[in-house]
Amino acid sequence: MTPYRFRLQTVERLRAAHRDEQRLRLADAQHAADLLEAQSERLEAEIADLRAGHTRTLGEKSLDIGAVREAQRYELTLRSQQRSLAEQAETIRQETEQRRLALVAAERDVRVLEQLDERLRERHRVAEQQEETKVMDETAANLNLAARRAADRA
C-alpha cells in the first residue's frame, strides 16, 4: 500500500505561517500597550513630584506667583499628555483585541486541518492493517490448500 501523505499539507503550512504572523502582530500590539503604560506611569510620577514641589512652595514665606503659574501650566501640559496617552491606550486595546481574535481564528483553522490529518492518517493505518490481514489470510488459505492437495496426492 502507498505511504500516507496528507493532501492538504501545503494549506496547513500556509495556515500555520498565517497563525505565526498573527502571533507576532499580537505581540507587537501588546508591546506598544506596555510602552504606553510605562509612559503613563512616568507622567503620573512627574505630576506627583510637581504637586509635592507645589505644596512645598506654598508653605514658604515668600511666594513666587510666576513660579506657581508656571508649575500649574506645566501640570496642565502633563495632564493633556496623560489624556492623549489614555486615548492611544484605548486605541491599542481595541487593536490588541482584534489581533487576539484574529489569532484565535488562525489557531482554529490550523487545528481543524491537524484534526483532519489525524483522522485521515488513522483511516490509512486501519486500511493498511486490513490489507495486511487480507494478504495473510490469502497466504494461509493458499498454504492450507497446497497442504491438502499434497495430502490428497500422497
Query: Does residue 140 lie in a domain region?
Result: no
Q: Is 15 exposed, middle or buried (0-12, 13-18, 19+ CB in 10 A)?
A: buried
Residue 142 resides in a domain? no
For residue 127, is it within any domain?
A: no
Q: What is the mean pLDDT of residues 54-58?
A: 72
Mean pLDDT in the chain? Answer: 92
Inside any domain, residue 129: no
Pick 123 or 150 by higher pLDDT. 123
Q: If you count them, how many residues does the chain have? A: 154
- Which grid coordinates belong to 1? 500500500
Q: pLDDT at residue 104 above 90?
A: yes
Number of domains in the chain: 1
The domain that holds 106 is classified in CATH as: 1.20.58
Return d(Cα 119, Cα 21) in angstroms, integer. Answer: 27
Q: Is residue 3 part of a domain?
A: no
In-domain check, residue 84: yes
Answer whether residue 44 is part of any domain. yes
Q: Hey, what long-range contacts does 98-106 have (CB within 8 A, 24 or more apart)?
A: 99/22, 99/25, 99/26, 99/29, 100/26, 102/22, 102/25, 102/26, 103/19, 103/22, 103/23, 103/25, 103/26, 106/15, 106/18, 106/19, 106/22
CA distance 6 to 120: 8
Cβ(106)–Cβ(16) below 8 Å: no
Domain that holds residue 75: 9-117
105 lies in a domain?
A: yes
pLDDT at 61: 67
68/57 Cα distance (integer angstroms): 8
- Kindly report the pTM of this predicted structure: 0.74
Does pLDDT of 95 surpass 70?
A: yes
